[in-house]
Structure formats: structure tokens, C-alpha cells
Structure 1
Amino acid sequence: MAQSAKPISSPVPDAWYPTLAVFMLAIGLVVTASFFIYEATAPRKYRSLAKELVTGTVASVFLGFGSLFLLLASGVYV
């Protein structure tokens, strides 16, 4: 016999989407701002590629998930 299929559901409750969007976008923008401040103020001789890559990756992840939750909160299901 065939098993009945379970509906696909989100691991995050729908009511959390706006809150997650605001917090993740805020964190992403703060990390992005710190990246730009670091790039503008640190002398070229003392910059660290590892720090730049980590900061850029963290900002990208938070801004990406923040954008995803913003779209989900506004009703655009991607």
C-alpha cells in the first residue's frame, strides 16, 4: 500500500517571518557597515584577507536570509 504523503511545512512559524526579517536585515546591515568602515580606515598594509572574507560572508548570509524572510513575510513564497 502507498503511504499517505505529508504536506510540506515550514520549520519556522509564519508569525516569526517579520521579526526574523527585521533582525537579520539589521544584523546584516551592521556587519556590512563595519566591513565598509574597516576597508576605509585600515591602512592597506595592515588589512587581513581572512577578516575581510569572514565579515563579507557573515554579512551576506544575514542579508540573504533577511531578504528571504522579508519576501515570505510579504506573501511572496519562494
Structure 2
Amino acid sequence: MAHSAKPISSPVPDAWYPTLAVFMLAIGLVVTASFFIYEATSPRKYRSLAKELVTGTVASVFLGFGSLFLLLASGVYV
């Protein structure tokens, strides 16, 4: 009753890694820039903590996955 093991494969094709890295890093950098612009231009008493947390989280997720796909595209398998 030995089951043959299936090799682990990525749910994303390897050819998509560079494209995903570029797009996710670009989106993450744009969201980060919008966060900094929001912080620099809005007065302190009109800032929203919820908006800051959401913007920071979205930027972090896109930059994190973009970095992951950049490493995968360059051959560093993490």
C-alpha cells in the first residue's frame, strides 16, 4: 500500500516569475509613494489611522511577493 509521492511543483509557471516580479514591485512602489505623499501633505489632525494601516499593508504585501518572485526569477529558490 505504498503511495508514490508526487513532486512538489509551483502553482505559478516559472516563465511568469519575472513578469510577476516587475508588476508586483511596481505596484508596491506606487502604493508606497502614495503613502509617503499622503503623510507629507495631509495635516496631522486630518490623518486616518485606518487608511495608513491599509495602505501600509497593501504596499507591504505587494513588495513582499514582488521580492519573492524576483528571487525566484533570479534562481534563488526560497
The 2-side partners of 1:2 and 1:57 are apart by 45
- The answer for unaligned runs of 5 or more in structure 2 is none
Deviations 1:11-35 (Å, cap 9, x if unpaired)? 0000000000000000000000000
Q: C-alpha displacement at 1:57, in angstroms?
A: 0.1
Query: Please, what TM-score do these two structures have when normalized by structure 2?
Result: 1.00
Identical amino acids, percent of aligned pairs: 97
Q: Deviations over 1:14-65 (max 9, x none)?
A: 0000000000000000000000000000000000000000000000000000
Residue 68 (structure 2) pairs with residue 68 (structure 1): yes
| Counterparts of 1:29 and 1:2, CA distance in 2 | 49
Cα RMSD of the aligned pairs, angstroms, is: 0.2
Distance 1:31 1:51 in 2: 12
Give 1:8 shift: 0.1
Offset, 1:70? 0.1
Structure 1 residues without counterparts, runs of 5 or longer: none
Number of aligned residue pairs: 78
